[in-house]
Structure 1
Amino acid sequence: MAQEKDTTVKFMLRLPDGWRSSLKAAAAQNGRSLNSEILQRLKPSVELTEAAESAA
């Protein structure tokens, strides 16, 4: 099985009012960076989408 290459891409993200502070607070509570908190929250959505696409 081929190993997936890890790449980093920077991009700007607009968040609704209050989201940044809420995410920063959650990140601090979970011992993660803001970036890691966002990725942790996105991961289930991406995995669900990939599973649905592979089942189709």
Structure 2
Amino acid sequence: MTRFIDFLSAERLGLNDGFDAMVLNSVANVGKALTILPDYSVIACYLDNDEAGRAALARLRRE
């Protein structure tokens, strides 16, 4: 049986293997993330595959 668990629940249960995580809640918050992200050498993004998500990913890649 497959069980669904949302990200924040998984985080609370310690299922993220010790990685840092940032939840934006909206691509409108990408600018706020840009001040923190330069401290990381690897960043995994999980965004919607729509125009806004693709634009946010493009901005993250540029900056």
After TM superposition, the score normalised by the length of structure 2 is: 0.24
Larger Rg: 1
- Of structures 1 and 2, the one with the larger relative CO (CA 8 A, separation 6+) is 2
**Greater helix content:** 1
